[in-house]
A and B are shown apart, each in its own frame.
Chain A
Amino acid sequence: MSSGYAVVGEARGRYEAWSPVRGSEIIADHLAMEGATLPILHAMQGAFGYVPQDAVPLIADALNLSRAEVHGTMTFYHDFRHEPAGKHVVKVCVAEACQAAGGNVTSDRIAKALDCAFGETRPDGQVTLEPIYCLGLCSCSPSAMVNGRLIGRLDDEAIDEIAAECRS
């Protein structure tokens, strides 16, 4: 028997293919909200792994905004991807507290172990590596988020595990 609150890391990596019908459904689910743009963009990315270009005019029409406004909003925020992500998404914290705990060396090692540069998706589509500014794990740094799962006190063993996970 278990009570209290916990989220178990969810493996991402399998997304739906974009379709205008699905896109319109997602929009319709959020229309009653005040300021629905960000929630819709998040939901799009949740479903498709990125925000497809074709979603922009649909959102604009539904919210009575110009395409430029929706495009402007989408591109302002670091979270929203304009292209599909790799099968595995690895986000490594590069902020100060993680740097203080040797994060610079760790992030170089991760990039090498994954054979992927920060901000890029490997050409085989297997992994996307992103820098992130703080995960709130600064007391057990350096830290990372791998496919939605949090990892603190990154050491060589953890890096090996991440690399293995990203080979699967």
Chain B
Amino acid sequence: MSARIYVPGDAAAVALGADRVAKAFEEAFRARGLEVQITRNGSRGMHWLEPMVEVVTSAGRIAYGPVKARDVAGLLDAGFLDGKGHELRLGDPEEIPFFKRQQRFTFARCGLIDPVSLDEYRANGGYKGLERAIELGGPATIEEVFESGLRGRGGAGFPTGIKWRTVGQTPPQQKYIVCNADEGDSGTFADRMIMEGDPFTLIEGMTIAGVGVGATKGYVYCRSEYPHAIKAMNAAIKVARKAGYLGKRVAGSDYDFDMEVREGAGAYVCGEETSLLESIEGKRGLVRAKPPLPAHKGLFGRPTVINNVVSLCSVPFIMANGAKSYADVGFGRSRGTMPIQLAGNVKQGGLFEIAFGITLGELVEDVAGGTFTGKPIRAVQVGGPLGAYLPRHQFDTPFDYEAFTKIDALIGHGGVVIFDEDVDMARMARFAMEFCAVESCGKCTPCRIGSTRGVETLDKVIAGQDRERNLAVVEDLCHTMKLGSLCALGGFTPYPVMSAITHFPEDFGRGRPLSVAAE
């Protein structure tokens, strides 16, 4: 067997120079007459160490990072291919504390295997879940997912099993599985990472959903900002189809299921499920009023399961290991694990999958190691552009849907964006309103007009014009948007705005910092 190294092909690693590193290795191996296989794997999620290169040695895999193209010759001279010492040597990647502390249920294979090798996927537990689903049949599969307690990871946290039941109970007809891979939230990249690093997991998850509810066709609606993910998914779909895991009589069973990828076109609101369906149908991404639910009348008017990438990717583990092994971990009504994404001004940024219940403070201070600027953390935005800004005195909040709701916040898709003390919260509040104005689908007035008025009014506050009166106008606008918007774009934009005003009043010219007073 020839030597083998791994250089991530994950977009974050590539953005930090992984393609150049891979090319430098290839050239060096050729020049030195070495026969070495270079595998472009996914990322293990420790992005501050990317590009993190791994070599297979007799003592297992040894990691080095962050590697630059100019380090390659030195690494080879130091005995990198035998896992020998070098200042970039990190040792066994799974022993790195950030990695070791995790519970990688969903991301177990991400970074471990060749993303488009079906053999490696299967050798690492892949397709065990589908086999069991086929054995159990549709209704029992749905109940298994229900029993696991899995809730939608796209943001709303709705029980996945209930959604599947609703579609499963509609009479047999053309039904669809739609995967929401629009991942528009700033601070999130879990969907991207698993589509690039372990695309078969999503294919398997969608196929299981198809078996569960009796759907034969799936669509992955992926944002256009993710060209790497789109190519990886397309490559994996082709492989799966060729091997009989997609198409007629999937894996030799009586079920048919096939799928394709559709590319978004840069509209944040198309992550909202009904807007997304309109978009696949080729229309403007206007949000639909509910009812009817997509489960009854979804894509092309047919019963449709629409789930986030991570929700669907959690299913193969649940089916392979049983609902109980998933439900056994977690906190309160938040069962299982959450891939949390640590981003922004962060020292150790990346993806951290762990059971619900870890506190926000543990995450941002211990796991992430604080800010890369070395300055104290002042605010953390959780849950993307519609999520609240949390001050230090809320850092004891456990990562749990209900605990966040209780403090007027949301965990959304699990993005955690860290800001240091240089942040201007009035500017962030204005940005939230501006984002809503830019991305509003235009269907309802509070969102369309309210956000534009919000920007204008916050500009006045920032300019010091009639502050109290204008802040009262902003609060009033937020109230109207919250109650009068059709979807969460207009309805939740008040969270970042109001949390900024409430917890950081000094940035709005309102006296003493509350966050200090409360401590």
Contact = CB atoms under 8 A, between A and B. Distances in A.
Interface of A: 1-9, 34-39, 41-42, 63, 69, 72-73, 76-80, 95-102, 132-141, 143, 145, 148, 150-153
The 7 A-B residue pairs with the shortest CB-CB distance in the complex, in nearest-first order: A37-B282, A139-B349, A100-B344, A152-B15, A6-B9, A4-B40, A138-B343
Contact of A136 (B41, B115, B192): B192
B279 interface: yes
B266 to A, nearest CB: 4
B344 A97 contact: yes
A80 B186 CA distance: 21
A141 B343 contact: yes
A139 B341 contact: yes
B282 A38 contact: yes
A130 to B, nearest CB: 9
Contacts of B280: 34-35, 38
Given A38-B282, A134-B186, A95 B385 contact: yes
B232 A138 contact: no
A79 B226 CA distance: 13
B235 interface: yes
Interface string B216-241: 00000000111110011001000000
B40 A63 contact: no
Q: Chain B interface residue count: which class?
A: 35 or more
Given A9-B19, A37-B282, A73-B282, A2 B38 contact: yes
Contact of A6 (B14, B47, B419): B14
Interface string B259-292: 0001111111000000000011111110000000
A139 B12 contact: yes
A133 B268 contact: yes
B345 interface: yes
Contacts, number: 199
Nearest to A152: B15
Contacts of B19: 6, 8-9
B344 A79 contact: no
B9 A4 contact: yes
Contacts of A2: 22, 26, 37-40
A6 B235 CA distance: 10
A53 to B, nearest CB: 18
A34 B38 CA distance: 39
Nearest to B191: A136
B265 A79 contact: yes
A86 B419 CA distance: 35
A143 B13 CA distance: 12
Contacts of B116: 4-5
Given A38-B282, A152-B16, A5 B417 contact: no
A12 B227 CA distance: 14
B220 to A, nearest CB: 13
A35 B301 CA distance: 13
B326 interface: no
Interface string B22-54: 100010000000011111110000011010000
B428 A4 contact: no
B415 interface: yes
Given A63-B282, A138-B417, A139-B189, A97 B343 contact: yes
A73 to B, nearest CB: 5
Contact of B435 (A6, A133, A136, A152): A133
A125 B347 CA distance: 39
Nearest to B432: A96
Interface in B192-207: 192, 196
Contact of A79 (B6, B224, B282, B342): B224
A76 B441 CA distance: 8
